[in-house]
Amino acid sequence: MDLKWYAHADARDVRSFLLDIHDEVYANDPDPFTSRERFSYFVDTWSGRADWSCVSGWEDGGPVGYAYGSKFKPGGWWKGSDRPRGVLGRILALSELMVLPQWQGTGRAQQIHDALVESFDVDYVTLLVDSTHPKVQALYEKWGYEKRDETNPSDDSPVCAVMVKTLRDRAA
């Protein structure tokens, strides 16, 4: 799989690409929270951060999926949740990891995930997972994440598991 990298300066150029992949992944989901309009808010918010980074995977000339995120500012954490005790230092907030249906279950998601995470100099990676998707949560657990909390970050969002992966333990 070939990987392509994007930074904050590329956000406007890749916005439609990100939204189109989202639309294909959520094509049959009637939940307004997963609508293109709602998701565009998140794309714009995250890609507006100066250290935003995105990695997309490509195979046979077509897209596989992407992941993006940015670091939390010192003291920053997910809305509606307290930062877990001991999670100190530099923290990557992995905002999205999305793989087209035909590539799900092939290991490509982890390759894209790992490429993004390795591009940041951080001690921890954290992400939110819809609590009604235990298979997704279990997949992240296989990748070294552990559930530390639950949050409902906005009025229209589902309850999400707050997952954390330790890369470098600063307490050690």
Q: Which of 84-88, 138-142, 145-149 has the lowest mean pLDDT?
A: 84-88
Per-residue pLDDT, 116: 98
Does the pLDDT at position 172 exceed 60?
Answer: no
Q: How confident is the model at residue 169 (pLDDT cuts 50, 70, 90)?
A: low
Domains of the chain (ranges; CATH) run 2-127 (3.40.630.30)
Predicted confidence (pLDDT) per residue in 89-106, tens digit: 999 999 999 999 999 999
Percent of the chain with pLDDT over 70: 98
Does the pLDDT at position 66 exceed 80?
Answer: yes
Q: What is the mean pLDDT of residues 65-82?
A: 94
Per-residue pLDDT, 170: 57
Predicted confidence (pLDDT) per residue in 103-142, tens digit: 999 999 999 999 999 999 999 999 999 999 999 999 999 9
Percent of the chain with pLDDT over 90: 84
Q: How confident is the model at residue 153 (pLDDT cuts 50, 70, 90)?
A: confident
- For the chain, what's the residue count? 172
Residues near 86 by Cβ (< 8 Å), separated by ≥ 6?
171
Per-residue pLDDT, 64: 98
Sheet with 62-71, edge to edge strand ranges? 2-7, 53-59, 62-71, 91-99, 124-130, 160-166, 146-151
Average pLDDT, the chain: 94
Per-residue pLDDT, 145: 98
Q: How confident is the model at residue 33 (pLDDT cuts 50, 70, 90)?
A: confident
Token digits of residue 98? 């999305």
Beta pairing class for 124-130 and 91-99? parallel
Beta pairing class for 53-59 and 62-71? antiparallel
